Structure 1
Amino acid sequence: MSGRVLRLVCTAAVAAHVALAPVSAAAVPEPERSVAELLTDLQRLYREAEQATESYNATEEKLKRQRAETDRLDRELADARLSLYDSRGAAGRLARQQYQGTSDISPYVHLLLARDPQHALDQGHMIGQLARERAQTVGRLAGTERRADELARKARRALDGQLTLTERRKKERDQVRARLDEVEKLLASLTTDQLTALADFERNGIAQAQRTFMASGALSTARTPSPAGESAIRYAVQQLGKPYEWGAEGPTSYDCSGLTSQAWGRAGIPIPRTSQEQWAQLPRIPLEELRPGDLVVYFPDATHVAMYVGDGTVVQAPRPGENIKLSPIASNPVLGAVRPDQQTEGREAETYAAPPRGRDQQQNNPQPPTNS
């Protein structure tokens, strides 16, 4: 519980304690929950917030694609309507020409009365050619009308889909904010001593989980990243100290999957936006084969992701109120790992040194995060 949120919560807790001091001694206090219970509640709320964030991110990506499809259909519909206008103009000119050239005398009588039958036959050939052109023009007009009607229907459906996604995104945004409000309420209800005990308890729990994980031998073999993986790590490490912000993809703030997707995108390998899509779509690898640059996915529903940098360490955007930092790989329950650059198997960087722990403490912290 570090950073600006912790400082604000500590102040609020002290102020609340002072304000409640005059309350009658007859009031029955609620039984105090243990530090373990408080941490369980807090971690649950953070996880629910992250679940809502990833749902929001997935909808945002769908909305981007839907907007692009709507714009494409709108452009095609505009072109089709312009073509329809031209076709109708050509059909109108043909109709006027036909009307002006009408006669009650049949072409056969024209041929019999002509002074030059050959000339009349040539004219008849030209008339036939014009007739075929008229038929083609009418056919194009009918085809353009059908295409314009079909594009109009598709454009309406695309717009309806966009409006539906926009409404879903709004609901998911509200869910994120509601979960973060719950986090703030829980933190604001704690005293300074409780907050300190909570931070110590969590830190000790992570240390124990890390010792167990490392003792398992999962990372017994040191590996070097691929050139693309080294590039992704370099980008991610350059973001140390920047704040977590849900839904953010940089450059001033990130959420967990915003950091990993941007890092690999900058390395020339685009990957899905959300942690759940990264887990579902990228090649999975055993933890025994983990190499720097691979993504470590957390929790049974894949709602958090970090990037492995070596020496049992990941770089991650942890949660609201914290900054991007280097953390033990076992900071959260590990689900598994994926490799964005599986196709580069066999290619490794010539030299690589994992960034030292504590480097994130040396970064200049930018503006504090906002839950906008």
Structure 2
Amino acid sequence: MIKTLAGALTALALTALTAPPAGAEPRDPEALLTELRTLYRQTGAATEAFNETDERLRAQRAEVERLTERLADTRTDLAAARRLAGRLAAGQYRQGALTLPPALRLLLGEDPGQAMHDGTVAVRTAAAKTAEIDRLVANEERADELTTAAREALDTEETLAEERRSRRDEIHRRLDEVTALLAGLTPEETAELAARELAATDEAQRELLASGTLDDDDRPPSPAGQRALTWALAQLGKPYAWGAEGPAAFDCSGLTSQAWAHAGVTIPRTSQRQWNELPRVPLSELRPGDLVIYREDAGHVALYAGDAQVVHAPRPGTEVTLAPLASDPVRGAVRPG
């Protein structure tokens, strides 16, 4: 199981098909490692932004469908009301165009009381039908406005999705270039990069534990948190894949959102929304199943597994794995449920 960037580096070196060109200039391992880390952060953030746009697009499309159905129902009701109004008008025409004023009909009628009652009912019926038609016309106009606005918003979202997709694809191209470069490293260079990565993670973990931020004793998980963690641990060894939500592969927030979904709790799909919308908890109060959010842009997320460890889908070329909590810069933690 590949647990760190060091493991990914080793795998890349082992699977390389070409050797470094003869006479190639020596490469600075620290500079390569820094560039690779930067690219991984950028690709992770771009993927989460793309996932967020996809979520917004799905919601917008559902809203357009809802508004379209509402418009169709309103138009059906309006057509029925207009047909009824037409039948009433036709009936009045067949009864004769000459209609006595209400006062004369009251005086000349055989039953003035009945005539007054019939007139009142007729006036009320006509007023009610007119009000109903006016209401339906207003509803149709409003539905037209809402549908137009929703479609304009959908156009905007699709434009944004294309921009995000282009950004992601550009970062992927850059990442492919660096991956190809790493695949051409000598075994000595690969070993040095792996050692630097391991040393950096170990140092960050030691500093976190020495800071007293985490309690010595883990709090027990909630029942839902335990279910989420148990499910996530069952995914260990499955590969990372862009935008994947399982069951064969995952990205970071695909793993966390699906873990909690299998615990019976719906949470936002992306790491940024998980950070922004879920209740935050101090690291000192972490309990298994909580979500640990990483990086300033909240571009990565993992499930806390206890004992200062997390389970997560780290990055391209890796698998779902257990890792030290401080394997990336920690921003904070949130608690679903």
Output the amino acid matched with 2:146. K
Output the amino acid matched with 1:188. A
Instruction: Work out which of the residue numbers 145, 164, 176 in structure 2 matches 1:172.
Output: 164
Moved over 4 A (4+): 1-12, 107-112
1:33 maps to: 27
2:18 maps to: 15
**TM-score calculated relative to the size of structure 2:** 0.88
Instruction: Work out which of the residue numbers 224, 236, 248 in structure 2 matches 1:228.
Output: 224
Question: Kindly tell me: are residues 182 and 6 of structure 1, through their superposed partners in 2, closer, same or farther at Cα, counting changes over 3 Å?
Answer: farther
2:128 maps to: 136
**Does residue 1:244 correspond to 2:220, yes or no?**
no
Judge which range, 174-183 or 128-137, deviates more. Answer: 128-137
> 1:258-291, CA deviations, whole angstroms, 9 ceiling, x for partnerless residues?
2112212222222222212222222222222222
1:65-144 alignment, distance < 5 Å: 65-104=59-98, 106-107=100-101, 117-119=109-111, 122-123=114-115, 125-144=117-136
Number of aligned residue pairs: give it: 328
Question: Kindly tell me: are residues 3 and 173 of structure 1, through their superposed partners in 2, closer, same or farther at Cα, counting changes over 3 Å?
Answer: farther
Question: Gapped runs of 5+ residues in structure 2?
Answer: none
Query: Alpha-carbon deviation of 1:331?
Result: 0.8
Query: Alpha-carbon deviation of 1:254?
Result: 1.5
Instruction: Work out which of the residue numbers 277, 280, 284 in structure 1 matches 2:276.
Output: 280
For residues 118 and 36 of structure 1, what CA distance do their matches in structure 2 show?
108
1:365 maps to: none
Question: Kindly tell me: are residues 88 and 192 of structure 1, through their superposed partners in 2, closer, same or farther at Cα, counting changes over 3 Å?
Answer: same
Output the amino acid matched with 2:69. R
Contact 1:296 1:337 in 2 (8 A): yes
Contact 2:10 2:194 in 1 (8 A): no
CA RMSD across the alignment: 2.5
For residues 246 and 69 of structure 1, what CA distance do their matches in structure 2 show?
27
Question: Gapped runs of 5+ residues in structure 1?
Answer: 342-372
> 1:168-187, CA deviations, whole angstroms, 9 ceiling, x for partnerless residues?
11221221222122111012
For residues 159 and 35 of structure 1, what CA distance do their matches in structure 2 show?
50
SS at match of 1:118: coil
1:336 maps to: 332
Instruction: Work out which of the residue numbers 40, 44, 49 in structure 1 matches 2:43.
Output: 49
**Does residue 1:156 correspond to 2:151, yes or no?**
no
> 1:296-339, CA deviations, whole angstroms, 9 ceiling, x for partnerless residues?
11112211111111112100010111111111111111122222
For residues 37 and 128 of structure 2, what CA distance do their matches in structure 1 show?
70
Q: Relative CO higher for 1 or 2, CA cutoff 8 Å, sep ≥ 6?
A: 2
Judge which range, 70-79 or 40-49, deviates more. Answer: 70-79
**TM-score calculated relative to the size of structure 1:** 0.80
> 1:20-39, CA deviations, whole angstroms, 9 ceiling, x for partnerless residues?
44xxx7xxx55x33211111
Instruction: Work out which of the residue numbers 188, 196, 201 in structure 2 matches 1:201.
Output: 196
Contact 1:10 1:192 in 2 (8 A): no
Percent same amino acid at aligned positions?
43
For residues 138 and 122 of structure 2, what CA distance do their matches in structure 1 show?
24
Contact 1:94 1:134 in 2 (8 A): no
Query: Alpha-carbon deviation of 1:244?
Result: 1.3
Contact 1:317 1:325 in 2 (8 A): yes
Question: Kindly tell me: are residues 311 and 109 of structure 1, through their superposed partners in 2, closer, same or farther at Cα, counting changes over 3 Å?
Answer: closer
For residues 218 and 52 of structure 2, what CA distance do their matches in structure 1 show?
34
